Structure formats: structure tokens, C-alpha cells
């Protein structure tokens, strides 16, 4: 979605504009400055670059996945290359980010060697007013949750289209990673948990033939869609995780420590109380 940044013409510029309209064959005036339109992609980049300003040399960093996090990883690579950052160790949250970071020359490790991470930076699909998140529309929710729960600070970077009144409020998917064995059975059990919220589940597929999408961990993903607010998120989380066959879900409850939102009125930074 394209959004307009506020822009105000100076009164002299406005006058020139009007005069030009009124005088026939008037010589063309200098072009009137147009409002700056920032694309969603540019807003993602702005949020990502702002987050990287919090990175310090020597940190162990959780590297997120998705189009917003990609900008942050690119920026970290750039700052390492220029020598403005030194001794960074990255912990990638997906095979895709692993590959991107490796190509940028970012030294990488994993949770086995670095069970405590200084800071993670990642995008999100939804952010509610309490800074609870939906993540995993990119399919990497399990590794993201493992890395981000191990992080002392977790900076979430989004453009303002990701802000919702309640989790599920975008009417887009809330992903659940499940084992492939008898996935239809697990899908039905998931739907049954949330009949009051009008929940419908769909197996995530890919390619023309609609083959099941397979996560980095060899699992399937069920996308849950809600008609209404599911209510108590912790209760919902517990109920989902109690189902045999479920590996993890994409609700990140009470995990984000900082939220950076880029929008038409600029960038806002909010820290969790």
C-alpha cells in the first residue's frame, strides 16, 4: 500500500501554480514539488534500518526472516563490511536468512553455541495494541520463536499496515506448524478449538500442483482464519500446544520488547512497559 508523507507547499509556490492556470500561454513555471510517496517496501526498509541503529559491535544477533527483516540483515552486512560494526555473530531464523547472511559475510552460529542472544530483529504479520504478534506467514515461525525467546531484546519491525486491533484481526492467516502425519485430523482438531471464533483452517500449499508447503523443519503448516476475536490468547496458545501433532503456533505473546513502526507520519518506537 502506498502512503503519502505530509507535505506542505509554500504560499509563494501555491500562488505560482494559480497564476499559471489563469494566464493563457504563460511560460511554464518550475515543476511544483509533489508529495513524497513511500511504498510499503520503503517503509519496511525505514523500520529495519532504524532497528539496526540499536546494534552494537560484539553482539550476538537473532536474524529474522521475511521481506522486512531482509533489509535489516542487508544493513548489518553493509555495516560489517564498512567496519562500522565488528565482531557480530548472527543466529539465523531460517535457511533463507542463513543463506542471505552467509552471502553477506556475516559470521553465523546457532542456539547450541549461543543459547543467549543479545538482540533479535524480525518482522511480523500482525501486531496488536499489547505488542503481541502473529508471525510465520513466511513459514519460519518455529525457528523464529526458538531464537526470539532466547533473546534478551526482541525488536519487531513493521510498516503500519501490520497494526491490528486484536490477534487474527487482519482476517489473514495465523499459522500453526504441525507434523505431516494425519494432518487433516490435526486441522479438524484445531478448528474445533475455536468454533466460537468462526475458525477455518487450511493446509498451506505451494506450486501449481498445490503440494503441501514443507517448513525448514520438514513439517506442514495449517493457516487458521478467524471471523471473530479468539479472546484469551494465553488460553488459546495452551489449547493449541496441548494437541498432539502440533509443533508450534505463530502467536508470539508478550515476547516483543521494542516495536518500530514506519508509517505515513514517520517512525514510532515503543518499548514494552
Ligand X SMILES: O=C(CO)[C@H](O)[C@H](O)COP(=O)(O)O
Q: Which residues bind ligand X (CB under 6 A)?
A: 64-69, 122-125, 135-141, 144
Task: State the minimum distance, in angstroms, from the CB of residue 67 to ligand X.
Answer: 3
Which of 126-140 are b and which e, b meaning 16 or more Cβ less than 10 Å from the residue's Cβ?
Answer: bbbeebbbbbbbbbb
The catalytic residue among 144, 148, 177, 248 is 144
The answer to whether 169 and 128 are in contact (CB under 8 A) is yes
Q: Is 160 a catalytic residue?
A: no
Residues in the chain: 273
**Residue closer to ligand X (CB basis): 136 or 201:** 136
E-assigned strand segments in the chain? 3-4, 37-38, 60-63, 89-92, 117-122, 126-127, 133-134, 151-159, 174-178, 200-203, 205-206, 211-212, 220-225, 246-249, 251-252, 258-263, 266-271
- Cβ 83 to ligand X shortest distance, Å: 28
Beta carbon nearer to ligand X, 62 or 189: 62
State the pairing for strand pair 151-159/117-122: parallel
Residue 129: CB minimum distance to ligand X, A: 19
Nearer to ligand X (CB atom), residue 189 or residue 248 = 248
Closest distance of CB 202 from ligand X, Å: 17
Q: Which is nearer to ligand X, 69 or 255 (CB)?
A: 69
Residues recognised as catalytic: 144
Amino acid at each position: 500500500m502506498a502512503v503519502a508523507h505530509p507535505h506542505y507547499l509554500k504560499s509563494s509556490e501555491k500562488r505560482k501554480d494559480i497564476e499559471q492556470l489563469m494566464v493563457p500561454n504563460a511560460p511554464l513555471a518550475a515543476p511544483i514539488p509533489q508529495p513524497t510517496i513511500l511504498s510499503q517496501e520503503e517503509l519496511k526498509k525505514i523500520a529495519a534500518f532504524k532497528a539496526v541503529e540499536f546494534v552494537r559491535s560484539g553482539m550476538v544477533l537473532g536474524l529474522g526472516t521475511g521481506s522486512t527483516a531482509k533489509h535489516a540483515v542487508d544493513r548489518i552486512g553493509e555495516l560489517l563490511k564498512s567496519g562500522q560494526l565488528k565482531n557480530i555473530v548472527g543466529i539465523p531464523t531460517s535457511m533463507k536468512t542463513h543463506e542471505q547472511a552467509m552471502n553477506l559475510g556475516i559470521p553465523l552460529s546457532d542456539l547450541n553455541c549461543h543459547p543467549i542472544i543479545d538482540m533479535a530483529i524480525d518482522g511480523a504479520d500482525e501486531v496488536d495494541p499489547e505488542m503481541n504478534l502473529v508471525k510465520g506467514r513466511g513459514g519460519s515461525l518455529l525457528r523464529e520463536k526458538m531464537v526470539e525467546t532466547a533473546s534478551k531484546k526482541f525488536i519487531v519491525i513493521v510498516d503500519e499496515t501490520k497494526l491490528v486491533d486484536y490477534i487474527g484481526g487482519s482476517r489473514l492467516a495465523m499459522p500453526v506448524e504441525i507434523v505431516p502425519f494425519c494432518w487433516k485430523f490435526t486441522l479438524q482438531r484445531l478448528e474445533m478449538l475455536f468454533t466460537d471464533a468462526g475458525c477455518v483452517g487450511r493446509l498451506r500449499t505451494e506450486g501449481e500442483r498445490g503440494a503441501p508447503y514443507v517448513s525448514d523443519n520438514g513439517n506442514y503448516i495449517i493457516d487458521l482464519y478467524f471471523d471473530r476475536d479468539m479472546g484469551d490468547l494465553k488460553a488459546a496458545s495452551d489449547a493449541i500446544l496441548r494437541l498432539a501433532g502440533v509443533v508450534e503456533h505463530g502467536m508470539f505473546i508478550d515476547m516483543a520488547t521494542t516495536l518500530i513502526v514506519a508509517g505515513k507520519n514517520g517512525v514510532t518506537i515503543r518499548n514494552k512497559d
